[in-house]
């Protein structure tokens, strides 16, 4: 699935092209009723791309990846094109798509029918509004920004994802303690203490506690040592683990609160 971040990055990439190029490229894949103009090009592209299906956008993206040389030749300075292409490529990688040999490939076949986890997580955080939800969302965004930076800072991407997970776990533990004041205490600055408290309180199982502990270790500096796997893919994997665990903690707490 194509995230909102990638959709806006694609709009930014196309905005540097001549209007006729964008109109032709989008119309080629049945994007109808285009009314792009120089006066409001960026906003028009934002609105048009935002509403397209994933299948349509993947076709557009596949052509872009296959024809970057042709698209680059009319852009001056070339650095502008290269910067926007880098951002688009990194956004796609966050979604699980790899640009390789002028082809757009899935890093994981399972992502084809999966909803964009980050978009759904941020929406759920805003709707449920745990005490530190804005700080958590900021760390998720900081993680993505570090991943997309030039050059990418994959350690910072993982560190920010880990902090987001840790902060949400602290909020969940505080909510459990309020709902069940007799469940004991924990040290909010200690990851081990927080997840042990969640386990002892019945919020999560022992196996879920082990899973959270494993993901946290994976995200810690120096813990992941890729062998034969590119660093960017290891960083994407770790970040995906963190976001999925955030989603689990949040949805599990909401469910437990209702029971």
Q: Are residues 96 and 146 in the same domain?
A: no
What is the model's pLDDT at position 115? 54
Residue 122 and residue 109 share a domain? no
Classify the phi-psi angles of 96: left when phi > 0, otherwise alpha if psi is within -120 to 50, otherwise beta. left
User: What CATH number should be reported for the domain holding residue 214?
Assistant: 1.20.120
Q: Are residues 76 and 159 in the same domain?
A: no
100 and 121: one domain?
Answer: no
- DSSP states along 123-144: HHHHHH--TTHHHHHHHHHHHH
Asked if residues 110 and 148 have their Cβ atoms less than 8 Å apart, the reply is no
Distance CA(161)–CA(144), nearest Å, equals: 9
Tell me the whole-structure pTM to 2 decimals. 0.81
- Could you tell me the residue range of the domain that residue 35 belongs to? 4-113
End residue of a domain, out of 47, 81, 113: 113
Question: What is the DSSP secondary structure assignment for residue 151, as one 8-state letter?
Answer: S
Q: Is residue 132 located within the same domain as residue 236?
A: yes
Same domain, residue pair 87 and 192: no
Q: Are residues 59 and 133 in the same domain?
A: no
pLDDT digits (tens, 9 = 90+) for 149-196: 999 999 999 999 999 999 999 999 999 999 988 888 999 999 999 999
Tens digits of per-residue pLDDT, 201-217?
Answer: 999 999 999 999 999 99
Domain boundary among 87, 113, 139: 113
Q: Is 104 helix (H, G, I), strand (E, B) or coil?
A: strand
Q: What confidence tens digit (pLDDT) does each residue in 124-162 have?
A: 999 999 999 999 999 999 999 999 999 999 999 999 999
Q: In this structure, are 123 and 109 located in the same domain?
A: no
**Residues 108 and 179 reside in one and the same domain:** no
Of 113, 129, 154, the last residue of a domain is: 113
Is the same domain home to 139 and 92? no
Do residues 129 and 101 share a domain? Answer: no
Is residue 91 domain-shared with residue 196, that is, in the same domain? Answer: no
Instruction: Give the count of domains, the chain.
Output: 2
């Amino acid at each position: 699935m194509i995230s909102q971040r990638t959709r806006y990055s694609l709009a930014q990439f196309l905005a540097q092209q001549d209007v006729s190029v964008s109109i032709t490229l989008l119309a080629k894949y049945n994007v109808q009723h285009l009314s792009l103009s120089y006066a409001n090009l960026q906003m028009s592209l934002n609105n048009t791309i935002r509403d397209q299906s994933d299948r349509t956008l993947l076709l557009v993206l596949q052509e872009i990846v296959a024809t970057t040389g042709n698209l680059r030749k009319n852009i001056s300075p070339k650095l502008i094109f290269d910067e926007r292409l880098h951002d688009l490529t990194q956004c796609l990688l966050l979604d699980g798509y790899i640009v390789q040999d002028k082809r757009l490939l899935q890093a994981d076949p399972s992502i084809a029918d999966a909803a964009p986890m980050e978009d759904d997580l941020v929406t759920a955080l805003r709707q449920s509004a745990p005490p530190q939800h804005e700080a958590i969302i900021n760390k998720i965004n900081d993680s993505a920004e570090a991943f997309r930076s030039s050059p990418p800072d994959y350690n910072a991407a993982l560190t920010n994802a880990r902090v987001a997970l840790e902060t949400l776990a602290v909020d969940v533990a505080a909510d459990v303690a309020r709902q069940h004041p007799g469940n004991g205490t924990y040290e909010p600055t200690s990851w081990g203490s927080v997840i042990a408290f969640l386990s002892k309180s019945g919020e999560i199982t022992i196996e879920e506690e082990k899973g959270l502990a494993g993901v946290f270790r994976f995200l810690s500096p120096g813990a992941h040592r890729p062998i034969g796997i590119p660093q960017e893919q290891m960083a994407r994997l770790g970040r995906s683990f963190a976001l999925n665990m955030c989603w689990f903690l949040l949805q599990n707490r909401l469910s437990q609160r209702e029971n």
